[in-house]
Amino acid sequence: MQFNYPFRINQNGRTATTTGDEDHIHQLIEQVLFTVQSERVNRPTFGTNVNQLVFAPNSDELATATQFLVQGALQQWLGDLIQIESVKTESEESTLRITIDYIIRRNQEHRTQTFSRQT
């Protein structure tokens, strides 16, 4: 049993939980992507700071740097759960989209997830 992210209370007045491993891994990836580094007191290097990229000018160099940043953070924090195949980022107006291809190590299942953040 894993707690739901973002944390919330379910209709029974209890802490909401995820519905399975795939759901839990999706939520873990979301936490790594959208947590600002130094936001967590006991883990100051946790996160990626990608929220700030929504306002950065688009360029091939920035896209490449972001891909390396995201891939490195995911490997560092979730490398025992997933194997990253590819990371693609795109920023359009006030929306940042990150598409991640990965394999769940436990069952070798391939997944593609897109995460977006709007500011």
Domain boundaries along the sequence of the chain: 21-118
Tell me: the pLDDT tens digits for 10-41? 777 776 666 667 778 888 898 898 888 888 88
> What DSSP letter does each residue of 42-71 carry, written as one string?
T-TT-S--GGGGGGSPP-HHHHHHHHHHHH
Q: Quote the pTM value.
A: 0.77
Q: How far is CA 18 from CA 4, 9, 38, 77, 97, in A?
A: 5, 12, 26, 19, 23
How far is residue 116's CA from residue 91's CA, in Å, rounded to a whole number? 9
CB 103 within 8 A of CB 78: no
**Amino acid 69: pLDDT:** 87
Q: Please provide the average confidence, as pLDDT, over all residues in the chain.
A: 82
Q: What is the CATH topology of the domain spanning 21-118?
A: Nuclear Transport Factor 2; Chain: A, (3.10.450)
How far is residue 50's CA from residue 70's CA, in Å, rounded to a whole number? 8
Terminal Cα-to-Cα distance of the chain (whole angstroms): 32
CB 109 within 8 A of CB 103: yes
